[in-house]
């Protein structure tokens, strides 16, 4: 049942897979074009998703 959370790890992969989806200049955030801050936003999101998947995965120890 808790292995369903492993599907969360696909979101960063899918979110960054298709470059034409985020290859835009606008909207600009703190001087960064959308192309850059979109990718940078995935760093903490991916960390949180990885943490959730790790915490919910059954360990055998």
- Please give the pLDDT value at position 4: 81
Question: Residue 2: which pLDDT band, with cuts at 50, 70 and 90?
Answer: low
User: Is 8 in contact with 49 (CB distance < 8 Å)?
Assistant: yes
Q: Which two tokens stand for residue 8?
A: 């969360």
pLDDT, tens only, 10-52: 899 998 898 888 888 889 989 999 999 999 999 999 999 999 9
- Please give the pLDDT value at position 37: 94
Q: Which two tokens stand for residue 14?
A: 């899918």
- Please give the pLDDT value at position 53: 87
- C-alpha 40, offset from chain centre: 9
- Please give the pLDDT value at position 61: 66
The vertex-50 CA angle with 44 and 60, nearest 5°, equals 155
pTM exceeds 0.85, yes or no: no
């Amino acid at each position: 049942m808790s292995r369903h959370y492993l599907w969360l790890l696909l979101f960063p992969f899918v979110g960054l897979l298709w470059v034409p989806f985020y290859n835009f200049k606008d909207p600009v955030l703190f001087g960064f074009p959308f192309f850059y801050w979109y990718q940078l936003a995935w760093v903490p999101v991916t960390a949180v998703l990885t943490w959730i998947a790790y915490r919910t995965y059954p360990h055998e120890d």
